[in-house]
A and B are shown apart, each in its own frame.
Chain A
């Protein structure tokens, strides 16, 4: 089954304790992306990657890091989480072969709470 998976689905942590949210896709997609969803703000892009070893900032990158060492994986790293990073996070992937109209597939989300 074609899918994007994220782990963990729920995470409660404390300020300053480094954490990683994993994302994996099995569709051989070149493009992967992280979004955060906050009430009343919709989804905002954090980082994206066009292919292995190619990453770039989205609209809200402060406080986050990413890496793309393998095509299927795109982990999101919070080196020193703060309460304002409490949010619902989504990983997404898509192919680039069809241009701008190709569908972006989303993972199930990770709900992060930083105390």
Chain B
């Protein structure tokens, strides 16, 4: 089965600092990886996705993620945090072994301090 592990349930950064949210995947076949963001009292919104076309994926709101097969990782980064980035972030994996379901990590809550 395909799965993802998000390291750190809570991450706190200062406004303007680098954001790094970690996601490691487990898959016996090439995975398709996604990052979703959930703002308070809202549904999930796709930030970016890895579809094997390019290892460095750029998403919305200045976020990007790099697929590293050797490290089985797909960490999410943003060079400079804004207060509006405070939200819950979910890494998810899909692929032939999971049908069309998304298998989510447990989420990382990002706090941005002034």
Taking Cβ atoms with an 8 Å cutoff, the residues of A that contact B are: 4, 31, 33, 35, 40-45, 48, 50, 58, 90, 92, 94, 96, 100-101, 103-104, 106-109
Contact = CB atoms under 8 A, between A and B. Distances in A.
Given A40-B106, A101-B32, A101-B49, A96 B100 contact: yes
Interface stretch (B14-22, B39-47, B66-74, B76-84): B39-47
A107 B105 contact: no
Which of B92, B95, B106 has the largest count of A CB atoms less than 10 A from its CB?
Answer: B106
B9 A40 contact: yes
A55 to B, nearest CB: 13
Contacts of B46: 103-104
A109 B43 contact: yes
Nearest to A50: B100
Interface size class of B (residues with CB under 8 A): 20 to 34
The 10 closest A-B pairs by CB, nearest first: A101-B51, A42-B104, A106-B44, A106-B43, A42-B106, A43-B104, A108-B43, A100-B32, A100-B94, A45-B101
Interface in B71-114: 90, 92, 94-96, 99-102, 104-107
